[in-house]
Amino acid sequence: MSDTHTGEPPLLRTAQNMIVENDDIADTIVLRRPPARAEVMAEICRQLEPFQADDGRAITGATVISKDLSIDSLAVMDMVMDLEDQFDVSIPMNVVAEIHTVDELADTILALSARR
């Protein structure tokens, strides 16, 4: 997969981690930008690769996660937790239940990031 992927959450390259000091309290603020769609798609495909069907069909936006891949519902939820941390969003369980395709998963992550 992508060589540029570092496993780190997407950060604004130009932004420094800023330490804001307020008497005894110090908080680290990390500035983030909403991720690009291609970035989200690439990460989802990377996560799903181990579950690809034997027929070698490529994972696309139209791939139905629970049907076209050999992944059980628990593994889907675990993958979602990883994606949540990658893109710093939380996808409620009832929303996960309504996601069928890779496109829908990407759209959900993008919509939640935009709202942040």
Partner 1 sequence: MGLFDRHAGLLDAYRDVRMTGADPFQIRMERVLSPTEAIINGKKTLLVGTNNYFGLTFDPSCMEAAIEAIRAEGTGTTGSRIANGSYSEHVALEQEIAEFYGKKHCMVFTTGYQANLGVISTLVGPDDFLLIDADSHASIYDACKQTQAEVVRFKHNDPSSLDARLRRLGDKPGNRLVVLEGIYSMLGDSAPLKEFIAVCKKYNAYVLIDEAHSLGALGEHGRGLCESAGVLDDCHFIVGTFSKTLGAIGGYCVSDDPDFDILRVTTRSYMFTASLPPSIVASVRQALRIVKAHPELRTKLWDNVAALYDGLAAQGFKLGPEHGPVVGVHLPDRMTAIGFWRAMLDAGVYVNVAVPPATPNGVSLLRCSVSAAHSHEQIAQMIDVMTGIGRQLGVLGNTPKLRVVGSSR
- Should residue 88 be labelled a site residue for partner 1 when binding is judged by CB under 8 A? yes
- Should residue 75 be labelled a site residue for partner 1 when binding is judged by CB under 8 A? yes
Query: What is the rounded distance in angstroms from the CA atom of residue 53 to the CA atom of residue 20?
Result: 49
- Nearer to partner 1 by Cβ, of 13 and 116: the residue is 116
**Least distance from C-beta 79 to partner 1, angstroms?**
12
- Should residue 53 be labelled a site residue for partner 1 when binding is judged by CB under 8 A? no
Burial of 56 (0-12, 13-18, 19+ CB in 10 A): exposed
Pick one of 45, 59, 89, 99: the residue that binds partner 1 (CB under 8 A): 89
- The CA-to-CA distance between both ends of the chain, in Å, stands at 28
Name the segment binding partner 1 (CB under 8 A); options: 17-25, 40-48, 75-83, 98-106: 75-83
- Nearer to partner 1 by Cβ, of 2 and 73: the residue is 73
Q: Is 89 helix (H, G, I), strand (E, B) or coil?
A: coil
- Should residue 49 be labelled a site residue for partner 1 when binding is judged by CB under 8 A? no
- Should residue 84 be labelled a site residue for partner 1 when binding is judged by CB under 8 A? yes
Which ranges of the chain does DSSP label H, i.e. alpha helix? 37-48, 65-68, 73-87, 93-97, 102-115
